[in-house]
Amino acid sequence: MDLESLTANILAGRYRALGQAITLVERESPEVERLLADLYPFTGRARIIGITGSPGAGKSTLVAAMARHYRKEGKRVGIIAVDPTSPFTGGAILGDRIRMADLYTDRGVFIRSMATRGFLGGLAKATNDVVDLLDAAGFDQVLVETVGVGQDEVEVMRTVQTNMVVLVPGMGDDIQAIKAGIMEIGDLFAVNKADRPGADKTVTEVTMMMSLVEEHGDWIPPIVKTVASRSQGIEELDEALVRHYAYLTSSGELVRRNRERVRIRIETQLKEKFMERLIGRTISREDFESLLDEVLHKRNNPHDAAESVLEKIAF
Amino acid sequence: MDLESLTANILAGRYRALGQAITLVERESPEVERLLADLYPFTGRARIIGITGSPGAGKSTLVAAMARHYRKEGKRVGIIAVDPTSPFTGGAILGDRIRMADLYTDRGVFIRSMATRGFLGGLAKATNDVVDLLDAAGFDQVLVETVGVGQDEVEVMRTVQTNMVVLVPGMGDDIQAIKAGIMEIGDLFAVNKADRPGADKTVTEVTMMMSLVEEHGDWIPPIVKTVASRSQGIEELDEALVRHYAYLTSSGELVRRNRERVRIRIETQLKEKFMERLIGRTISREDFESLLDEVLHKRNNPHDAAESVLEKIAF
């Protein structure tokens, strides 16, 4: 399929074209940049929600319950799983996939998992690109599931509109430490598996931890108890999400976040294209490899080696 | 302290200077690049080992046991914890820190935890820089503990000489998925908490998974059972590590890995310095912000915006 008809078919919301385009993103094909550029004016309509939490928190079950909720409202739902432990990924356990079977066969739902490594351009960029593709293809709700540990995951979290952090009662101290790390990035909290003992204790703990975070502005992140496996608390969760979107738009925070997202994307493009041009134009591949050998044998260092290349460019 | 005496004091192995330098790395101070460049010729002597595994696998206890083992051999040990859940990090539980008290008071051990986010230049770069500092300061063994989930962590794993993956018996299927993801990067495997039921089953599982991985070359990753809390299996682990180092040097793999590390470092330097120069020289900060607004309002897209800036540079 040529780029023009691929673009047209994505805008028409065709799944096959969408799948092809995502494969191009994953393979980091050069033509994908042109495709994304052409689709870019048609983005900006989707509601993009990040769902973050440790393995075992029931993120995928919660995402599935949310997807079913949106489907009842007649919305089209895109799910991107950026988590090697997600049932939506290839490495999933069969039982989990069977529990999601209704979603896999629903024409209004598109599910895709992203490998969490091997992207030269960065996982956040690839995820961002896939979000744009789903956005341009007319999906109303895009749910991005991520494990939330690691800097790259945090960057993924920066690319969504609302960050939901999923916790469970009675997790160990190890998890407490993770929680502390992602606490300040959470716009709202779901205490999932809330039928387990200790749910209220976890709510209290989160409330206390929240009071230590200063940078929330006028928005106080709500904490919602859910039992995703029985679809309990999903409406309350959606209400909180709707309220957060209202806050984002009225406070100007949405524009601020979108602007930040644009900044990251332009800078990523600049760095990538710079490297592509540099080697071959400013310095030949052989000379670059020689430079590398010099550093390897301690006759030069990475800092001065980079400087020597940059000196040749007229900025 | 001026840069020259800081350099001298690091080379003399003084902890205060080392601490200061690491703080400079963490703050991404501009002068740190000069410091690292000056220290670079004195690096390359440390044995750098990565320890990766899920929270709860007992990585820190294993790292502590290894550190004690090396101390008995009279070696100086540097520990870098790149894991928000590590007892070595600030968010640690007091009990864990008390169990490590002997290491914290040992003058031959240097412990530092790295925050896993907030590094503009990347967590892998910052970790690499700290490894270099410890290397130049004369540490014989540098142990880098990382949670191993996420692309940035995998990049950290690429910067060490030997990757040890820590597993525990009877972890759930969630963990199996993580394991699958880091399986091919492991140079050796520790099945920790091996006094628990299922240790042999885990060894068998790993052996089977290993047989599916093709890219190990002549090295077949050994699997060692350990009980870190009782220092069991640490000598066997060290033997395996010594054997791996012998393999690395004799096969030429060490040079290949070092070369890859050098490549990543030069490229990182190039990209960073490029962005520093670009904004202010090729394009003014105001013009860059205007460009950003154009993209934000869909009058342009990230790809073409980046192209328009790059066109101004004579490569």
Q: What pLDDT shows up at residue B250? A: 95
Q: Which of A117, A287, A290, A313 to mutate to test the interface with B (most CBs of B within 10 A)?
A: A117
The last residue of one of the domains, among B251, B279, B302, is B251
Give a yes or no: residue B101 inside a domain.
yes
Q: What pLDDT shows up at residue A289? A: 96
CB-based contact A93 B173, cutoff 8 Å: yes
Q: What pLDDT shows up at residue A51? A: 93
Give a yes or no: residue A216 inside a domain.
yes
Q: Are residues A232 and A278 in the same domain?
A: no
Inter-residue contact A46 to A77 (CB < 8 Å): no
CB-based contact A274 B269, cutoff 8 Å: no
Report how many domains make up chain A. 2
- Among the residue ranges A150-164, B173-187, B249-263, the one predicted with the least confidence is B173-187
Q: What pLDDT shows up at residue A181? A: 55
CATH number of the domain that residue A206 is part of: 3.40.50.300
Half-sphere exposure in the Cβ direction for B87 (13 Å, CA):
20
- Distance CA(B299)–CA(B175), nearest Å, equals 46
Q: Are residues B217 and B287 in the same domain?
A: no
Token pair for A171: 């997790």
Q: Where are the alpha helices (DSSP H) in chain A?
A: 3-11, 15-26, 32-39, 59-72, 94-99, 101-104, 123-136, 151-158, 173-182, 199-212, 234-251, 253-277, 285-296, 302-310
Give a yes or no: residue B28 inside a domain.
no
Give the gap in angstroms from C-alpha B252 to the nearest C-alpha of chain A.
Answer: 14
How many residue contacts between A and B have a Cβ separation below 8 Å?
213
Q: Are residues A135 and A228 in the same domain?
A: yes
Is residue B109 over pLDDT 90?
yes
Give mean pLDDT, residues A189-194: 94
Q: Are residues A220 and A303 in the same domain?
A: no
Range of the domain at B194: 44-251
Q: Are residues B290 and B244 in the same domain?
A: no
Give a yes or no: residue B258 inside a domain.
no
Q: Which residues of A touch B295 (CB under 8 A)?
A: 40, 262, 265-266
**B157 contacts: CB under 8 Å, gap ≥ 6:** B50, B52, B146, B148, B163, B182, B185
What is each CA distance from A158 to A38, B123, B300, in whole angstroms? 23, 16, 22
Give a yes or no: residue A13 inside a domain.
no
Query: Alpha-carbon torsion B95, B99, B100, B106, what sign?
Result: positive
Question: Using 50, 70 and 90 to split pLDDT, how confident is the model at A216?
Answer: low
Q: Are residues A161 and A292 in the same domain?
A: no
State percent of chain B over pLDDT 70: 84
Q: Are residues B233 and B270 in the same domain?
A: no
Is the Cβ of B255 closer than 8 Å to some Cβ of chain A? Answer: yes
Is the Cβ of B296 closer than 8 Å to some Cβ of chain A? Answer: yes
Q: Are residues B273 and B304 in the same domain?
A: yes
Give the gap in angstroms from C-alpha B313 to the nearest C-alpha of chain A.
Answer: 5
Q: What pLDDT shows up at residue B56? A: 75
Give a yes or no: residue B48 inside a domain.
yes
Give the gap in angstroms from C-alpha A189 to the nearest C-alpha of chain B.
Answer: 20
Is residue A75 over pLDDT 50?
yes
Q: Are residues B205 and B239 in the same domain?
A: yes
Q: What is the pLDDT of residues B285-315, one digit of tens each?
A: 999 999 999 999 999 999 999 999 999 998 8
CA closest to B41 among chain A residues? A298
Give a yes or no: residue A17 inside a domain.
no
Q: What pLDDT shows up at residue A96? A: 60
Is the Cβ of A276 closer than 8 Å to some Cβ of chain B? Answer: no
Question: Using 50, 70 and 90 to split pLDDT, how confident is the model at B183?
Answer: low
Pairing of strands B109-113, B77-82: parallel
Is the Cβ of A149 closer than 8 Å to some Cβ of chain B? Answer: yes
Give the gap in angstroms from C-alpha A299 to the nearest C-alpha of chain B.
Answer: 8
Q: Are residues A233 and A288 in the same domain?
A: no
Is the Cβ of A291 closer than 8 Å to some Cβ of chain B? Answer: yes
Q: How much is the ipTM here?
A: 0.83
Q: Are residues B95 and B226 in the same domain?
A: yes
CB-based contact B84 A313, cutoff 8 Å: no
The last residue of one of the domains, among A204, A223, A251, is A251
Q: What is the pLDDT of residues B18-40, one digit of tens each?
A: 999 999 998 888 889 999 999 99
The last residue of one of the domains, among A251, A278, A296, is A251
Q: Which of A3, A36, A158, A174 to mutate to test the interface with B (most CBs of B within 10 A)?
A: A174
Give a yes or no: residue A315 inside a domain.
no
* Single-letter residue type at A251: S
Q: What pLDDT shows up at residue B150? A: 55
Is the Cβ of B265 closer than 8 Å to some Cβ of chain A? Answer: yes
DSSP state letters, B61-115: HHHHHHHHHHHHTT--EEEEEE-TT-TTSTT--HHHHHHTHHHHT-TTEEEEE--
Q: What is the pLDDT of residues B240-273, one digit of tens each?
A: 999 999 999 999 999 998 998 899 889 988 998 8
Q: What pLDDT shows up at residue B21? A: 96
- pTM, to two decimals: 0.76
Is the Cβ of A266 closer than 8 Å to some Cβ of chain B? Answer: yes
Q: Are residues A123 and A206 in the same domain?
A: yes
- Choice between A58 and A71, residue whose per-residue pLDDT is larger: A71
Inter-residue contact B57 to B166 (CB < 8 Å): yes
Q: What pLDDT shows up at residue B209? A: 74
**B47 contacts: CB under 8 Å, gap ≥ 6:** B140, B141, B142, B161, B241, B245
**Contacts with B, A 57-116, CB within 8 Å:** 84-85, 89, 91-93, 116
Question: Using 50, 70 and 90 to split pLDDT, how confident is the model at B234?
Answer: very high
Q: Which residues of A touch B271 (CB under 8 A)?
A: 271, 274-275
Give the gap in angstroms from C-alpha B73 to the nearest C-alpha of chain A.
Answer: 29
Q: What pLDDT shows up at residue A249? A: 95
Q: Which residues of B touch A259 (CB under 8 A)?
A: 292-293, 296
Is the Cβ of B172 closer than 8 Å to some Cβ of chain A? Answer: yes
Give the gap in angstroms from C-alpha B105 to the nearest C-alpha of chain A.
Answer: 24
